[in-house]
Structure 1
Amino acid sequence: MEAEGTAHRGDQHVTTAYRKLLEGWGELVKCLCCPFLCLQAGPIAVVDQGWVAVLTRFGVYERVLPPGMYVYNCISQSLQKVCMKMQVIEIPRQAAMTRDNLSVTVDAVTFVTVVDAARAVFQVADYLHAVKTLAASTLLRVIGEHDLQEIFRDRSKINDRLTQTMQGKTAGWGLQVAGVEMRDITIPEAMQRAMAQIAEANREADAKVIVAEGQRKAAFIFADAAEAMERQPMSLQLQWFETLRQISAEKNSTVIVPDSVVSSLGGLGVPGRSSGPGPKAMSTPGQPQCQGGV
């Protein structure tokens, strides 16, 4: 055991010496390139606004460099730039099966922002590919938990659930999912025709219900009117006479009125009523003549 420990310490000393030698060579190269820095030549890196650079020394993480210009040791250090702006990731079209066993094709998009560059670099090999794969699998699973009608009706709620699920799984990668949106949901053409027929049948059924409801209300109104006329028989006679007046106004003709109707109007003070037995004649200026007979 002591021999193994001694050998290990010896390897560490050799490694440390080799690292110092490489760092020295890198510093020498950096000094030699100083006259060319104005031309942005040599071990120089420019980090643009909206980006950061993850600095490592011999593969070990050191720090995150904000936007700016940096001179680094090209032998011992390396830089990896990471975009901190919101990125739009297209999710390939997915053929999914709904809970009611209907086939749909879904097209979606994901909005992602890197909030921790070090995690995005070291926790996952390719965070863009990882997000795309995770979003596709999550989309298939969530679609399978809903009926087709729910997917069309509650699309915003499904988008919110996709976003929450993605955020919970990508937080450890240093990412923030701003949203997952289903842009298009395609169903087979035969299913589209069937849904159109169902919608048309529903509209026709609603129209029939509305007509039936109107007829029911009209029946109640007519029943109330019939009861009122039954309590006041004279109102029915007046209504009948008003109908005759309207008919005679449309055509220049004579309307024959039974004696029973004329006599029933005697108490109303209608002008033109004759007394005595026999046919009765009623006339109004400007109106066709109405004669009564047995």
Structure 2
Amino acid sequence: MTLALVPLVAIVFLVLVVVLTSIRILREYERGVVFTLGRFSGVKGPGLVVLVPFVQQLVRVQLRTIVLDVPAQDVISRDNVSVKVNAVLYFRVIEPDKAVIQVEDYMAATSQLAQTTLRSVLGKHDLDDMLAERDKLNADLQEILDNQTDAWGIKVANVEIKRVDIDDSMVRAIARQAEAERNRRARIINAEGEQQAAERLVEAATTLAKLPQAMQLRYLSTLYDIAGDKNSTIVFPMPVEFLRGFLGPADHDAGTPQPGASPPGQAASAGR
């Protein structure tokens, strides 16, 4: 009786093995590239996938965005400055059949391509461009990598330069350059301020020259400002034009000889 059950158990076990090798369950973000006797026969998934045992094989491929850290690369800029640059790459597989058939290992291929492209692109720019124009460099890197990985069924979504490391000597040189640039801007701003102040003074002098009364008001305002200081004695000049406004007509004309009148000395001699 026991010997009769052995073939039955073997058959059941063989059926279970065949069923397990022929059934695949793919998640929503996975696709299966199916090969029938070594020949590509289609992309299946997600969900339940049934294969022909020992005839068909399935290769899983993820469609989620992959974050790839590009190792630091030694780059010599166009102005002969040695720097170390590392970046991060965001890409995803959009055509699973090409990612499996066209390239042996799309992860390693994309990583190596990103390293070489990073060195070649940044080597065409100056150090100032690497530090100030990262958005433009990121866009250039993304465009080049996307075009080259298109044959592999890969879409490069974004490339970000993480760090640009330079020598300490270059850091000090950049600091001196930045300080000189700030001094230059400060001098230009001071010169522009003095020029604008001179233009305003010319305009004010022109206005005061047109109206003498305005000059007198300005003079009084200056006296008021001086009186506000803690001074016990103030000595200031008194313009004659300013005194004429306080003198009456008689006092104003007392010392002025009238037309046709004789000088006082001549009148006395005539009386004798």
Q: 1:265 aligns with which of 220, 242, 245?
A: 242
Tell me the residue number matched to 2:190. 211
Tell me the residue number matched to 1:287. none
- Aligned 8 A contact 1:111 1:180 in 2: yes
Tell me the residue number matched to 2:104. 125
- Aligned 8 A contact 1:112 1:176 in 2: yes
- Aligned 8 A contact 1:30 1:73 in 2: no
Map Cα deviations across residues 120-147 of structure 1 (whole Å, 9 max, x no partner). Answer: 1111000110001111111111001111
Residue 225 of structure 2 aligns to a residue whose secondary structure is helix
Offset of 1:241 from its aligned partner?
Answer: 4.8
Tell me the residue number matched to 2:85. 106
Tell me the residue number matched to 2:34. 55
- Aligned 8 A contact 1:30 1:72 in 2: no
Write out aligned runs for 1:98-177 (5 A).
98-177=77-156
Tell me the residue number matched to 1:23. none
Question: Within 1, Cα distance between the matches of 2:104 and 2:17?
Answer: 37
| Shift in CA distance, 244/183, structure 1 to aligned 2, threshold 3 Å | same
Residue 93 of structure 1 aligns to a residue whose secondary structure is strand
Amino acid at match of 1:98: S
Identity %: 33
Question: Within 1, Cα distance between the matches of 2:236 and 2:187?
Answer: 42
Larger RCO: 1 or 2 (CA < 8 Å, sep 6+): 2
Amino acid at match of 1:33: V
Q: How many residues align?
A: 240
Tell me the residue number matched to 1:185. 164
Offset of 1:252 from its aligned partner?
Answer: 6.8
Q: 1:74 aligns with which of 53, 61, 86?
A: 53
Question: Within 2, Cα distance between the matches of 1:111 and 1:252?
Answer: 76
Map Cα deviations across residues 190-247 of structure 1 (whole Å, 9 max, x no partner). Answer: 2112111111111111111111111122223333444555566675565445433432
Question: Within 2, Cα distance between the matches of 1:249 and 1:71?
Answer: 101
Question: Within 1, Cα distance between the matches of 2:230 and 2:69?
Answer: 77
Question: Within 2, Cα distance between the matches of 1:138 and 1:30?
Answer: 56
Amino acid at match of 2:91: V
Amino acid at match of 1:221: R
Q: Identify unmatched segments of 5+ residues in structure 2.
A: 1-10, 253-272
| Shift in CA distance, 118/251, structure 1 to aligned 2, threshold 3 Å | closer
Q: Identify unmatched segments of 5+ residues in structure 1.
A: 1-28, 277-294
- Aligned 8 A contact 2:18 2:53 in 1: no
Tell me the residue number matched to 1:45. 24
- RMSD between superposed Cα atoms in Å: 2.9
Output the TM-score relative to the length of structure 1: 0.71
Question: Within 1, Cα distance between the matches of 2:131 and 2:16?
Answer: 63
Offset of 1:68 from its aligned partner?
Answer: 1.8
Question: Within 2, Cα distance between the matches of 1:257 and 1:110?
Answer: 78
Residue 223 of structure 2 aligns to a residue whose secondary structure is helix
| Shift in CA distance, 254/64, structure 1 to aligned 2, threshold 3 Å | closer
